[in-house]
Structure 1
């Protein structure tokens, strides 16, 4: 996610809408508390394969079970995987203690991670996969990179969205995937999709990454309509009196906007020609810094952003079932 750019067309569309915002009831206090927990120092930045990551996995498993999610892989919500970092390339994730050591002599390193994946059964065999990565940057230079916005915010939203739809049946199966290792190349999302048995049944990926921090106007971006314009109509029906939903950051020919098409885990689905909608905010002053803490997020904005995403899931579920 790169620079902020105001979408005049989307803003005028929002102003011109006279529909009353839909009432979406969620447990906002628990949503915020979950972000606070996941971005606590005790999770040590949730770096891939580190103890803090395992702690996050346990919390996600607990919340997925509470939401009544059913396993997608081998009767287990936990989808474990490993990755071997080749020689000198491994220092980006596992720095060695002697910075002057010749990295060309560093041995290969195998690390272990896990996705947590569960499903709410729908009325058809088709599925919408809702993803959010839970890993972050860990500890660097003795500072904990807590990753409250990036991406405790998206992870906590998974639980709230699952709880909302737990008693509201959908046309599609809703698959919730808290994926690992986004920060080092979307390894978890790739492993999920590689091992998903019937990709032709996935109608859409909705990816949540950084949805809790708006430094400027209260703007949430939906990225993907340039590639999948058929998704525009259901999203234009979404209304909010607190957050502006804008569209863009997906046209590679638009030199005035940064292109987010390959900026997060949705890229894995896009490369397999599976439509995606990515919800996020532009990079802010705390992006990939140790200052991305619970205290730096915009709480009211975040709660409303999650409600907007719930509306998007509802509308897209109906639209893609037609």
Structure 2
């Protein structure tokens, strides 16, 4: 996820008054299933879910199996997994697929083409306008013999997608909701980029992207970023009752106190297409991009409440957006 560490303090609290939104605690999800899916995706058996590695493919199949258990409709006619090719060359190829004693200019390093995979389902609404909810399924894989499990980054967002899809399967939305576990965020948002460039319907139908990347590792603070660019989205977030502290920020380029997260994760792909986004995430923590980002080190209570809050936010956007 984010490549820049942040040291600044909070700048803005969301107002909790004057809104008729229901409490986020009224959102009912199976907390045990949510946590079980996060623990599964962050387990050693997935080997850190490195892009194009066996553990990553196992993660794709696991996510697809959970969607299938919920009897959810694939977004693509070919099935739950949207496969895409990517060719590594030069220094990137040598870094990802090292060979012994390459020439200094890497001329003898052959290109390597691999296959990635996004896992997507849809819940059709009363309109064909789309809200797409994303979280990335990949992480850093195995480095120097250590497994980088990526529990917060971003098994947390991916497991949330499954629980949110289960919720909206029982609570039909107005908009068509697409739940997308996208691949290869860690090496440049390749999966999100491929999805946007190969969208199965008119991309102009997408009215909003909700992106979740690191939503499980904080004591109390969750950010909703992007409102500097899309202030019209603010009203749907006001008044959500939650035990968490929901904050705005990390989206203003000239703000010297808070890092700008506008381009920090997959939401930038949608933003570049002029599609409004709200990015939910926490600030970088001691386990960020380390092998200590494990299920044992997340805050389970915070995570459950974050998923409920974001689910309620999606419900509000679904009601408020036209």
Give the TM-score normalised by the residue count of structure 2: 0.93
**Counterpart in 1 of 2:135?**
132
1:199 matched to 2:200? The reply is no
Query: Structure 1, residues 69-90: CA drift from partner, whole Å, max 9, x if none?
Result: 2122224111001101122232
Is the CA contact 1:136–1:146 (under 8 Å) kept in the aligned structure 2?
yes
In the TM superposition, what are the counterparts of 1:160-309 in structure 2 within 5 Å? Answer: 160-196=163-199, 197-214=201-218, 217-240=219-242, 242-309=243-310
2:77 alignment counterpart: 74
Q: 2:58 aligns with which of 48, 55, 58?
A: 55
| C-alpha distance after superposition, 1:167-188 (max 9, x if no partner) | 1011100001111100000000
- SS in structure 2 of the partner of residue 251 of structure 1: coil
2:49 and 2:56 in contact (8 A); partners too: yes
- Cα 1:97–1:302 shift into 2, 3 Å: farther
CA contact (8 A) 2:132 2:209 kept: yes
1:125, distance to aligned residue in structure 2 (A): 0.9
Deviations along 1:224-280, one digit per CA (max 9) or x if unpaired, are 00000000001112121x211101100001011100000000000000000001000
Structure 1 residues 288 and 98: alpha-carbon distance in aligned structure 2, compared to 1, 3 A threshold: farther
Shift of 1:24: 1.6
Give the secondary structure class of the aligned counterpart of 1:162. helix
**Deviation of residue 314 (structure 1)?**
0.5
Shift of the 158–87 alpha-carbon distance from structure 1 to 2, 3 Å rule, reads same
Conservation of the 8 A alpha-carbon contact between 2:19 and 2:238: no
1:88–1:104 CA contact under 8 A, matched in 2: no
Measured in 1, the distance between the counterparts of 2:316 and 2:21 equals 15
Match of 1:93 among 78, 93, 96: 96
Aligned length: 317
CA deviations 1:46-67 (Å, max 9, x no partner) are: 0011100111011111111122
Alignment correspondent of 2:34? 31
Give the TM-score, by structure 1 length. Answer: 0.93
Question: Structure 1 unaligned runs (5+)?
Answer: none
Distance 1:142 1:291 in 2: 14
Alpha-carbon separation, structure 2, partners of 1:19 and 1:64: 28
Distance 2:103 2:257 in 1: 41
- List runs of 5+ in structure 2 lacking aligned partners: none
Give the number of the structure with larger relative contact order, counting CA–CA contacts within 8 Å between residues 6 or more apart.
Answer: 2
